[in-house]
Structure 1
Amino acid sequence: MHTDLLTLQHWLSPGFPLGAFAYSHGLETAIARGWVRCGESLRDWLEPLLADGSGRADAVLVSLGWQAEDDAGLDQVDATARAFAASAERLMEADLQGVAFCKTVREIWGFDLPDMVLPVALGRAARLAGLPLEQTSAMYLHAFAANLTSAAIRLVPLGQTEGQAALAALTPLCARIASETAEAGVEDLYSNAFLSDVAALAHETLQPRIFRS
């Protein structure tokens, strides 16, 4: 049995110690303001986030991390990712999860993986492990959407079936974006999901709140 898929599933599973469950990526604000209140509106929120927002941007960063040929290039990608973060909480989310990912991968797989933001670190780790880029990006995007779906199930609240139906509908989109960004350059880095960015900014002062972002 080929282990590529199993390794990616391991890295991107809810059980991998990233603390991903603590972050809503601004979704908590959207729910508090009534923008997301059912399975349909959750899908309407996640679809542009993946297609034209930070989901696609992260897929580009995974690709750039995978493509980097040396430490200097990797450092430049990580610096670009940090500069691109739309809010302090978005940067914290990517940074702390990246540090946790790198620490665990260094200790278990023995890779030379300096601390980086999560999507860049995942791309680099996948390259070091000989894992295919498109599959890595697709599974990253699906895990990203799954984490936000889990947050919505708890916060809206949604029934499990309604939440999982929204996630299943987005699965082909994750695969398409991974394919579209496989040969991306830094010039392909953008985000047009402005309401999501506003929600992330507003979350910094949201009270009460459960999530860190």
Structure 2
Amino acid sequence: MKTTSLLSLLHISSPALPIGAFAYSQGLEYTLDAGWCKTAKDVEQWIESVLRFGLAGVDLPILQRLHQAWQTNDQEAVQHWNDMLLAFRETKELYLEDVQVGAAFKQWHLAQLSESESLKQADDIEAKLEWLEKPSVVAMYALHGVLTDIPVEECLIGFCWAWLENQIAAASKAMPMGQTDGQRIMRRLIPVIDEVVAHAMTLPDEEVGSGLVGLAMSSSLHEHQYSRLFRS
């Protein structure tokens, strides 16, 4: 990777990116509140399961396809895979998170247009951003990858890492789990990220999908949780 592309990947994967992803726990807060996960080891197992059977089956393979679609200017494919991703969101909470953070991500892209190399380039990016009425986070992440010459595999790795950091941050806020425990979990899950990215890169279209019943239940129940730190 070029240095500029690597730095762009680090930039877009940072929890400090102003798109609001940090405000959501994706059901993890309810999981902790209900006692489904009581220890740091429980949290690690929960996150690993979502990585292997959620992101690896939906988010990552669709990110790969959206990266290719943006790269080839295939508007129909961009719309198809973006809609497919949103259709896989099993709860209202997960769906709203995707479209709300995706909308903020789109606005972030628009704010960067003034830094484009030419007016023509800015017009082209703005036109592409209008392809999607409800852009998903994955679609906006893939677009940034194409615009900054980030290879598709590295895009998938960066997306996984950003998601993992947000999950660890959520767990650290919602339960008495220190930063050291969180960093240990992240370190142990690095090989898992390598595995799920390799799996996602080879997944055929007909096998894209997931069925995380526990995640769907925790997200649905989180919508009605009496007291919450994270948005629903």
TM-score (norm 2): 0.86
Moved more, 124-133 or 43-52: 124-133
Q: Structure 1's 64 and 113: CA in aligned 2 closer, same or farther, altered over 3 A?
A: same
Moved more, 139-148 or 65-74: 65-74
Among residues 162, 177, 201, which one is paired with 2:196 in the alignment?
177
CA deviation after TM superposition for structure 1 residue 13, in Å: 0.5
Q: Distance in 2 between matches of 1:54 and 1:178?
A: 9
Q: Distance in 2 between matches of 1:7 and 1:183?
A: 25
Q: Structure 1's 67 and 96: CA in aligned 2 closer, same or farther, altered over 3 A?
A: same
Among residues 80, 96, 101, which one is paired with 1:97 in the alignment?
101
CA deviation after TM superposition for structure 1 residue 55, in Å: 5.4
CA deviation after TM superposition for structure 1 residue 185, in Å: 4.2
Query: Which residue pairs with 1:164 in the alignment?
Result: 183
Q: Distance in 1 between matches of 2:205 and 2:18?
A: 29
Structure 1: unaligned runs, 5 residues or longer: none
Kindly indicate whether the alpha-carbon contact (under 8 Å) linking 1:138 and 1:177 is maintained by their aligned counterparts in 2.
Answer: no
Query: Which residue pairs with 2:149 in the alignment?
Result: 130
Moved more, 38-47 or 166-175: 166-175
CA deviation after TM superposition for structure 1 residue 78, in Å: 1.1
> Secondary structure, in 3 states, of the residue corresponding to 2:12?
helix
> Secondary structure, in 3 states, of the residue corresponding to 1:91?
helix
Query: Which residue pairs with 2:174 in the alignment?
Result: 155
Query: Which residue pairs with 1:113 in the alignment?
Result: 129
Kindly indicate whether the alpha-carbon contact (under 8 Å) linking 1:98 and 1:121 is maintained by their aligned counterparts in 2.
Answer: yes
RMSD: 1.7
Among residues 165, 172, 180, which one is paired with 1:146 in the alignment?
165
Is 1:73 the equivalent of 2:77? yes
Number of residue pairs aligned between Structure 1 and Structure 2: 213
Moved more, 201-210 or 109-118: 109-118
State the identity %.
27
Query: Which residue pairs with 1:210 in the alignment?
Result: 229
> Secondary structure, in 3 states, of the residue corresponding to 1:3?
helix
Q: State the structure with more CA Rg.
A: 2
Q: Distance in 2 between matches of 1:123 and 1:156?
A: 33
CA deviation after TM superposition for structure 1 residue 106, in Å: 2.8
Amino acid at match of 2:177: L
Kindly indicate whether the alpha-carbon contact (under 8 Å) linking 2:15 and 2:21 is maintained by their aligned counterparts in 1.
Answer: yes
Kindly indicate whether the alpha-carbon contact (under 8 Å) linking 2:51 and 2:193 is maintained by their aligned counterparts in 1.
Answer: yes
Structure 2: unaligned runs, 5 residues or longer: 114-121
Q: Distance in 2 between matches of 1:189 and 1:120?
A: 16
Q: Distance in 1 between matches of 2:165 and 2:215?
A: 17
